[in-house]
Amino acid sequence: MLPHQLRTGININRSNGVIVCLCHGVSDRQINKLLASGEASTVAAVQAQTRCGTDCGTCIAQLREIVDAAELRRWKYQPPVPRVLRPA
């Protein structure tokens, strides 16, 4: 990958995802994998496991967007909670 591709988040190969954190080389695919597996569910948990957003902080907004999107997907596909019927 060329230096300008790293700076802009462009990844022609796309097999490893788009780099979100340049300081630690963390991709969106790595973050989404952690979130999907349940190993992390918050920004802090992703930071603890990947160090994404723990250096210069430029990627924190994008990290939050990825975590928020994963949370919305999780709630969208979570089965509904059954209603509890009260006796009459």
In a domain, 7, yes or no: yes
In a domain, 38, yes or no: yes
- pLDDT string in tens for the chain (88-residue length): 455 555 555 555 556 789 999 999 999 999 999 999 999 999 999 999 999 999 999 999 999 999 999 988 877 766 666 667 666 5
Boundaries of domain holding 14: 3-77
In a domain, 88, yes or no: no
Name the domain count of the chain: 1
In a domain, 83, yes or no: no
DSSP string across the chain: --HHHHHHT--SS-SS--EEETTTTEEHHHHHHHHHHTS--SHHHHHHHH-TTSSS-TTHHHHHHHHHHHHHHHHHHSPPPPPPPPP-
CATH of the domain at 67: 1.10.10.1100
